[in-house]
C-alpha cells in the first residue's frame, strides 16, 4: 500500500474517520473511494503496485490506494442491452445493477438509497441502472419478474439478487459480502509496506486482530516520494491513529469461580476475583463466548450489570459465538430492567444506533430476540428507542413487524406503524416476508385493519408460493380475516377471488382442499360464479374436495343446484370426482357420491376405466386394506359397472405370488364353520328340558309343546345345515383355482353368516325356555342376547353381503355399512371429514 500527502481539505466525515486535524496530512486507507488520483492533486505514488506482485489480491487491493481528500462523483451511469457485456460482465470490479422503470413507484422510493450507496462505495463497486422498458432482453435473460430488482455481479457471474424496495441496511449487507476480509487486506499490507511495523497480530480461530504503526524513525518528504510526519495534532507518528481494524482482544475461558459468582449474582465475590486490568477482564468468556456482562444480563443481575458497564464499557460491544451482544441476550431473556439500563447507558455514545440495530449471525436484532421469546414489554421498549429497527429483516427475511403481526400483538403493531416515516423507512417497512399474510395467519380483524390502512396495496402481495392473502387465509382456515377483507375491500378482494397461485389453485380451491366449509360459503356469497372456476388440472372445487377426502365440503357441495354438473365434470385426465376419491382412497366420499341420483357411474377416464375398475385394481393387490374393500362395496352396491374394456383381474396373479393368503383365509372360515356344525349337532342331541322317561312318550322331548322349544330346534337345525354346506364349499376353495376360490367365497360367506346368527338365536330361545318360570330373568336374557345379536349382524352383514345390488337390501345394509365407516374412520388418514 502506498502513502500520499493530500493538499486539499478532506470532507468532515473523512477527517473524523481518519482523525485528520489539518492539511496537508499523509494517509492510507483500505477503503476504495477512487480508482485514480485527481490530476490536480499533484500526488505521485511511491511504488507501482502492479509491479510488486502478480497475486490477485494485490491487484484487487490496488484500487484501494486512494486519496481521501476528494468527494466522490454523483450520478449513476446507465447500462442497456448493447453495453451489458462490456460494462457489467467484463468489469474488473464488482457491479451493482438496479433494474427499474420510470412508472415504478417502489423504484422511485429506493432511488435515493441507491444513490447514497453509490457514493459510499465508489471505487469499490461499479453502480449501473437499467431501464427494463428500454432494454427488456437483459431482464428476461436473468429472470427479472418484478421491479425494483438489484443484482450484484462479480467477474461476470451473478452472485446475489435482492427483490423489492428494501432498506439501506439490507443493500449494504449484500454489498459488504463482496468486499475484502480483514485478514486479506492485512496480508496485502505486509506485502506492500515492509517499512511499517506490525504492532499486534493474533489469530485465535478466524479472528484476526491487526494494528499497524508507522516507524517513528522514518523521515520522508513528498519530493523523495516518501511520507512526511506531521507535527500537528493527530499526526501520523501517533500509533493510536493507525488502528486499521478494531482491536478485538483475544478471548480466554473464565475461571469457574468467576463464572459461579456472576451466575449467583454475588458482586462481592466477583470483585475479589476479576482483574482490574480492563483488557484481561474483557477477554474472559464462557464456552459459548459469553462475557461476564452477557451472563449477568441474561440472569437479570441488575447491580452487577450496572457495575460492569460503568467499569468495563467496552464489553457492551463484545459478541458471543452467535454474534449476539448483551442487548440480544437480555432481550431474549425478557429482562426489561437490564434492557432499559443498557439503552440508557448507550444513549451517551455515538454508537447508539449501531448498538440497537446490531445483528447476530442469524440476522436477528435484539427486537427479533425479544419477539421470539414473546417478551412484549421488552419489544415495546426497543421500538420506543429506535423505531425503524422494527423493519430490519433477519436471515429468514422476517422483520420484527412481521413477527409481531404473526403473533397477534395488536398494540405493538400499532406502535411500530404509528410514525411519520421517511421514504427509506416506507420502502423497507413491508419488505421481506409478507406482513399481510402474517396478519391473515393471526386471524385478527383489528391487526388486518391497521396493516391495510397503512398500505391498502398490500392486499395484492403474494408470498413465496404465489398465494395472495385470500388464498393463504383459505388454506389456513382464517375465516374472520377473509370475511373482513371481502367486506371492507369488496371490489379489490372480489378480483383476487379469481387469482390462482403457482400451483393453479384459486382461493376457493384452497378452501375446498383444506375442508373449510364456512370460507367456501363466504366466497360464494361475494363471488357466486367462483364455483365454476377450474384449477390448472381443469378440476372444479368438488374434484379438489373429493381428492382431498373432505367429506363435509362434499356434502355441502352436493346440495347446490350445480351439483349434478360438478360431480360428472371431468378433469384433464378424464377423472370425475368419483374417480379421484376412489383412486386416492376415501370411502366416506365415495359413499356420498354413489348415493346421489345424478352421479354417472359409467363415466370413463382417459385410460378407459370406470371408478369400479380402479377400485378392483386396488382391492386385488396383495395387501388387504379395509378402506379399499369399503370403497369397492359402495360402488358394487350402487350398481357401478366395469368399463367396456375392463382391466384384467389380478386375483390369479396374486394367488401365485402369495398362495398362503387365500389358504389362510379358507382355513379360518373352515374352522369357524366346523365349530358351528359341532356345537349345533351337540345341541340337537342334548335338547333343553331333556327327554321323557315314561310310556307312552318314552324318549320324546319333554318340552316339545313349548313355542320356544320349536324355535330353538328349527334355528339349531338351520345353523347345523348351513355350516356343513360352508365346510364343503370351502373344501372346493382349497383346490387352488382362483376363479373357483372366488366363487366359493361368495357362497360360503352368506351361509356362514346364516349359521352363526341362527346358532346364537337358537341359544337365546333355549335359555329363555328353561327359565320361563322367572319372567324377569327370561326377559333380561332376551334383551342382552338381542343387543349382542344386532351388533354381530352389523359387523358381519357388510362383509358377507358386500356385493348385493338389490335396492331394498342396499337400504337395509346402509346402516351397518355406515357404522363400519364411522368405526374405521377413527384414526384413519383415509376417512377425512
Q: Where are the domains of the chain?
A: 4-69+195-242, 84-175, 660-801
Question: Catalytic site residue 104?
Answer: yes
Whole-angstrom distance, CA of residue 402 vs CA of residue 390 = 9
CB–CB of 456/435 below 8 Å?
no
Query: Where do runs of H (alpha helix) occur along 705-737?
Result: 707-733
DSSP state of 78: B
Among candidate residues 104, 381, 478, 527, the one labeled active-site is 104
Report the sign of the C-alpha dihedral through residues 659, 664, 667, 669, in that order: negative
Whole-angstrom distance, CA of residue 471 vs CA of residue 517 = 14
Whole-angstrom distance, CA of residue 151 vs CA of residue 145 = 13
Question: Catalytic site residue 527?
Answer: no
Topology of the domain covering 84-175:
Glutaredoxin (3.40.30)
The pLDDT score that the predictor gives to residue 610 is 92
Residue 88: burial class (beta carbons within 10 Å; 0-12, 13-18, 19+)? buried
Beta-bridged to residue 290, according to DSSP, are none
Beta-bridged to residue 777, according to DSSP, are none
Whole-angstrom distance, CA of residue 287 vs CA of residue 322 = 12
Grid cell of 224 as nine digits: 523523495
Residue ranges for the chain with pLDDT beneath 70: 1-74, 180-250, 275-278, 419-432, 619-624, 646-662, 736, 738, 794-795, 797-813, 816, 823-833
> pTM of the prediction?
0.57
Closest CA to 364 of 352, 353, 375, 356: 356
DSSP for 436-465, written as a single string: HHHHHHHT-HHHHHHHHHH-GGGGG---TT
Rg (alpha carbons) of the chain, rounded to whole number: 42
Whole-angstrom distance, CA of residue 15 vs CA of residue 739 = 98
CB–CB of 392/167 below 8 Å?
yes
Whole-angstrom distance, CA of residue 569 vs CA of residue 576 = 6
Residues 524-534 as b/e (b if ≥16 CB within 10 A, e otherwise) read bebbeebbebb
Under 8 Å CB-to-CB from 645, ≥6 apart: which residues?
608
The helix/strand/coil state of 596 is coil
CB–CB of 592/624 below 8 Å?
no
**Could you tell me how far CA 440 lies from the centroid of its own chain?**
15
Under 8 Å CB-to-CB from 119, ≥6 apart: which residues?
72, 74
Quick count: other Cβ atoms within 10 Å of Cβ 680? 24
Whole-angstrom distance, CA of residue 402 vs CA of residue 393 = 9
The pLDDT score that the predictor gives to residue 431 is 60
CB–CB of 606/569 below 8 Å?
no
Per-residue pLDDT tens over the stretch 513-559: 999 999 999 999 989 888 899 999 999 999 999 999 999 999 999 99
The pLDDT score that the predictor gives to residue 513 is 93
Cis amide prior to 148 (ω within 30 degrees): yes
The helix/strand/coil state of 95 is strand
Among candidate residues 67, 107, 469, 497, the one labeled active-site is 107
Amino acid at each position: 500500500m502506498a502513502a500520499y500527502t493530500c493538499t486539499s481539505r478532506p470532507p468532515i466525515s473523512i477527517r473524523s474517520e481518519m482523525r485528520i486535524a489539518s492539511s496537508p496530512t499523509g494517509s492510507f486507507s483500505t477503503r476504495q473511494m477512487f480508482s485514480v488520483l485527481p490530476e490536480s492533486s499533484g500526488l505521485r505514488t511511491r511504488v507501482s503496485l502492479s509491479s510488486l506482485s502478480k497475486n490477485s489480491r494485490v491487484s484487487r487491493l490496488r484500487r484501494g490506494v486512494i486519496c481521501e481528500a476528494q468527494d466522490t462523483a454523483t450520478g449513476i451511469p446507465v447500462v442497456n442491452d448493447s453495453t451489458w457485456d462490456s460494462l457489467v460482465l467484463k468489469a474488473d470490479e464488482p457491479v451493482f445493477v438496479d433494474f427499474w422503470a420510470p412508472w415504478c413507484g417502489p423504484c422511485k422510493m429506493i432511488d435515493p438509497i441507491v444513490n447514497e450507496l453509490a457514493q459510499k462505495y465508489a471505487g469499490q463497486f461499479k453502480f449501473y441502472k437499467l431501464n427494463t422498458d428500454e432494454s427488456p432482453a437483459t431482464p428476461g435473460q436473468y429472470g427479472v419478474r418484478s421491479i425494483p430488482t438489484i443484482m450484484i455481479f462479480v467477474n461476470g457471474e451473478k452472485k446475489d439478487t435482492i427483490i423489492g424496495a428494501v432498506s439501506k441496511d439490507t443493500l449494504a449487507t449484500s454489498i459488504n459480502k463482496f468486499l475484502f476480509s480483514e485478514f486479506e487486506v492485512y496480508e496485502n499490507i505486509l506485502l506492500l509496506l515492509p517499512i511499517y511495523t506490525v504492532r499486534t497480530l493474533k489469530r485465535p480461530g478466524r479472528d484476526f486482530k491487526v494494528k499497524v504503526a508507522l516507524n517513528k524513525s522514518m523521515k520522508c518528504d513528498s519530493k523523495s516520494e516518501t511520507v512526511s510526519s506531521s507535527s500537528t495534532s493527530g499526526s501520523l507518528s501517533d500509533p493510536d491513529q493507525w488502528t486499521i481494524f478494531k482491536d478485538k482482544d483475544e478471548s480466554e475461558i473464565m475461571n469457574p469461580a468467576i463464572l459461579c459468582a456472576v451466575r449467583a449474582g454475588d458482586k462481592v465475590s466477583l470483585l475479589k476475583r476479576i482483574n482490574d486490568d480492563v483488557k484481561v477482564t474483557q477477554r474472559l468468556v464462557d464456552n459459548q463466548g459469553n462475557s461476564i456482562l452477557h451472563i449477568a444480563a441474561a440472569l437479570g443481575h441488575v447491580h452487577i450489570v450496572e457495575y460492569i458497564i460503568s467499569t468495563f464499557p467496552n464489553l457492551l460491544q463484545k459478541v458471543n459465538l452467535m454474534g449476539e451482544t448483551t442487548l440480544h441476550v437480555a432481550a431474549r431473556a425478557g429482562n426489561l430492567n437490564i434492557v432499559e439500563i443498557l439503552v440508557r447507558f448507550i444513549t451517551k455514545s455515538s454508537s447508539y444506533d449501531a448498538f440497537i440495530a446490531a445483528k447476530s449471525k442469524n440476522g436477528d436484532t435484539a427486537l427479533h430476540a425479544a419477539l421470539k421469546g414473546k417478551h412484549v414489554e421488552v419489544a415495546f421498549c426497543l421500538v420506543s428507542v429506535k423505531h425503524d429497527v422494527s423493519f430490519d429483516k433477519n436471515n429468514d427475511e422476517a422483520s420484527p413487524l412481521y413477527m409481531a403481526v404473526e403473533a397477534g400483538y395488536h398494540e405493538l403493531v400499532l406502535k411500530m406503524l404509528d410514525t411519520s416515516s421517511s421514504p427509506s423507512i416506507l420502502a423497507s417497512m413491508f419488505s421481506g416476508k409478507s406482513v399481510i399474510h402474517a396478519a391473515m395467519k393471526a386471524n385478527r380483524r383489528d391487526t388486518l385493519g391497521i396493516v391495510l390502512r397503512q398500505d391498502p396495496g398490500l392486499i395484492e402481495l403474494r408470498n413465496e408460493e404465489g398465494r395472495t392473502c385470500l388464498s393463504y387465509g383459505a388454506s389456513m382456515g382464517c375465516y374472520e380475516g377473509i370475511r373482513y377483507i371481502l367486506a371492507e375491500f369488496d371490489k379489490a378482494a372480489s378480483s383476487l377471488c379469481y387469482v390462482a397461485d403457482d400451483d393453479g389453485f384459486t382461493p376457493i380451491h384452497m378452501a375446498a382442499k383444506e375442508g373449510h366449509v364456512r370460507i367456501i360459503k363466504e366466497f360464494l356469497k361475494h363471488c357466486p360464479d367462483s364455483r365454476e372456476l377450474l384449477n390448472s388440472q381443469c378440476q372444479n372445487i368438488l374434484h379438489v374436495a373429493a381428492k382431498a377426502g373432505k367429506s363435509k365440503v362434499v356434502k355441502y357441495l352436493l346440495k347446490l343446484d350445480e351439483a349434478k354438473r360438478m360431480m360428472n365434470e371431468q378433469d384433464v385426465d378424464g377423472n370425475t370426482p368419483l374417480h379421484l376419491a376412489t383412486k386416492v382412497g376415501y370411502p366416506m366420499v365415495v359413499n356420498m357420491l354413489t348415493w346421489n341420483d345424478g352421479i354417472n357411474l359409467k363415466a370413463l377416464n382417459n385410460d378407459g376405466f370406470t371408478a369400479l375398475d380402479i377400485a378392483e385394481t386396488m382391492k386385488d393387490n396383495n395387501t388387504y386394506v379395509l378402506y379399499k374393500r369399503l370403497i369397492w362395496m359402495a360402488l358394487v352396491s350402487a350398481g357401478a359397472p366395469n368399463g367396456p374394456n375392463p382391466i384384467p383381474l389380478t386375483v390369479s396373479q396374486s394367488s401365485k405370488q402369495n398362495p398362503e393368503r387365500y389358504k389362510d383365509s379358507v382355513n379360518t372360515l373352515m374352522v369357524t364353520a366346523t365349530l358351528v356344525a359341532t356345537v349345533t349337532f351337540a345341541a340337537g342331541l342334548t335338547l333343553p328340558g331333556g327327554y321323557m322317561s315314561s310310556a307312552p312318550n318314552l324318549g320324546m322331548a319333554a318340552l316339545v309343546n313349548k313355542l320356544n322349544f320349536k324355535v330353538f330346534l328349527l334355528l339349531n337345525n338351520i345353523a347345523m345345515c348351513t355350516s356343513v354346506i360352508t365346510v364343503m364349499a370351502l373344501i372346493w376353495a382349497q383346490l387352488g383355482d382362483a376363479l373357483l376360490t372366488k366363487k366359493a367365497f361368495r357362497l360360503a360367506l352368506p351361509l356362514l353368516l346364516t349359521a352363526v346368527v341362527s346358532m346364537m338365536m337358537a341359544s337365546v330361545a333355549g335359555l329363555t325356555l328353561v327359565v320361563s318360570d322367572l319372567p324377569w330373568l327370561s326377559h333380561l336374557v332376551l334383551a342382552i342376547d338381542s343387543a349382542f345379536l344386532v351388533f354381530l349382524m352389523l359387523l358381519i352383514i357388510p362383509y358377507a353381503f358386500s356385493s348385493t345390488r338389490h335396492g331394498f337390501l342396499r337400504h337395509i345394509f346402509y346402516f351397518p355399512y355406515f357404522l363400519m365407516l364411522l368405526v374405521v374412520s377413527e384414526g384413519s388418514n383415509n376417512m377425512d371429514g
